Each structure stands twice: as C-alpha cells, then as structure tokens.
Amino acid sequence: MTSVMSGVAGDFAAALRDPLVTPPAMLSAHAAPAASTRFCVYRNNVAVSLIGALEARFPATRRLVGDEFFRAMARLYIKAQPPRSPLMMRYGDELPGFIARFEPAAEIVYLADIARLEAARTRAYHAADAEPLELSSLAALDPENFARLRLAPHPSLEIVESAFPIVTIWASCTGEAPLTAVEDWRCETALVARPRLEVEVRRAPPGAAAFLEALARGMSFGEAADSAAARAKDFDLALIIASLIGGGLLVPADGVKQMETIHGYLA
C-alpha cells in the first residue's frame, strides 16, 4: 500500500521468521546494544510465544518425546507452518500432520495420533455449546418410534481413530492413569467432546464411530444402527447407546435448540 512501510514490514517479517536472514538495515539504536541485538528481542518474542502455545496445547505429545525434542520440533514446525490467523487457540491444528511426516519421530509410531487427540481437545474446549440429550428424556417415547429418532453428534465431538491404544497412552501421559508399559496393545478410537464445560476423552465401543458418522450424515437412529452393525464387528448397540448418551455426546438433530417436546425431534 505504502512504499516505506511495506518495505519495512516485509524486511522485518522475513528476518523474524528466519535467524539466518539479516535484520533490516533501517533499524536504528542510539547506543548499545546494537540494533541487531535489539531486533533479537522481537525474534525471541515470536519464537517463545509460539513454542509456548504449542507446549500448552500438546502436553502429552511433549511428555512422550521430552522438552528438548519437542521444542526443537516445534521450531521447525513454526518455520514450516507459521500461524495464519491471530486466533492462537487454533495454532497447531496442522502439527499432527507435520509429526506424521517428521522422520525423527517416525519411531514413535503413535505420536501423531496422540497429537491429533490433543488438537481435538482444544477444538472441543472452544466448540459451540449444546445441551446433551438425556436418556431419561426418551423414557416417554413409544418404542415404536426409537428407529425414527433424529439425533446428531454433539457439536464439540470429534472421533480420533487410531491403530494404537491412544486413549490409554494419552491418559497415562496426562496423569489420568499411571504411566506404565501398555499391557493390552490394541487399536483404540477416541471420542473427544465437551458435553457441558469439561472436555472428556472416552474410548469408543466397537461400531460407535460408524454409528456417529451415520447420524452426522442425517440418518435416523434405526438407519444408523443398521449401517454401523453392517460395518463393525463386535457391534453392541446397547453399549453404544450407553456410551454416547451416557457421555452426553448426542444432541437432538435440530442442534442447539432445546427440545420442546419429545416429538420435536422425531423424523
């Protein structure tokens, strides 16, 4: 837009992003320290604040690799994928993908999935509010109508599927469970949601992910159950209902609106 200022900001920005770029020549200092040393305050502020944001968002990932590894990896991530928005709550959405391609972390095969789980937790923390469906509110419903129920996943819910026991590993890295060797090494799917104000992480029972995906596509309860039963082995609808409704993970399909009557969310 303007000549002087565009040049200043462009040169300044380039040198902020890369310590190998010389600080802009038009900086001045009346006395020691030199302008280049003073410029390092800004470079430091940017790096410290962005690394800090990633450390705060990915505590389990950090614990798994240790502080030194995490910080060095974060610096490379920041250089490769700097923030594109002033909303720091979103920064790090792409870190799981970065980790998946990050050769030095390849040996820790589950690391990217742990980061995916942690990224989902922050999104759930800030997601829209919605009153979860209570199982007791279905008590008055004629059993004939169960199949026609229109329900939807809670707006905060994310499904994190993994080939590794990520819920167990995550829990042991955050103090929710003791940190020990994982005895039962099998794949786990995490359900990450914030039904009210606390973010919760649950192990999904078999078929729950397929069932939720079917509901999200607009299928009725009966259609979703059929679809999930066809796709998942060890499908147990009672367990799924208990986990999803007991966990506050479902809402009426009309979203955040409170149900007026039981018939309000029938198809």
Helix (H, G, I), strand (E, B) or coil at 113: helix
Distance (Å, rounded) from C-alpha 24 to C-alpha 20? 12
The CA radius of gyration of the chain, in Å to the nearest whole number, is 24
Shortest distance (Å) from residue 117 CB to other proteins: 12
10 Å Cβ neighbour count for 36? 14
Distance (Å, rounded) from C-alpha 56 to C-alpha 174? 12
Helix (H, G, I), strand (E, B) or coil at 203: strand
By CB under 8 A, is residue 231 in contact with other proteins? no
By CB under 8 A, is residue 202 in contact with other proteins? yes
Residues 156-175 that bind other proteins (CB under 8 A): 156, 164, 167-169, 171-173
Phi and psi of 209, rounded to 5°?
-65, -45
Residues 69-88 that bind other proteins (CB under 8 A): 69-73, 75-76, 79, 82-88
Which residue in the set 100, 216, 232, 237 belongs to the binding site for other proteins (CB under 8 A)?
Answer: 237
Residues 132-161 that bind other proteins (CB under 8 A): 132, 135, 138, 143-144, 146-148, 155-156
Helix (H, G, I), strand (E, B) or coil at 248: coil
Shortest distance (Å) from residue 142 CB to other proteins: 9
By CB under 8 A, is residue 33 in contact with other proteins? yes
Which residue in the set 98, 112, 120, 122 belongs to the binding site for other proteins (CB under 8 A)?
Answer: 122
Distance (Å, rounded) from C-alpha 126 to C-alpha 155? 10
Which residue in the set 151, 243, 250, 252 belongs to the binding site for other proteins (CB under 8 A)?
Answer: 243
Shortest distance (Å) from residue 226 CB to other proteins: 5
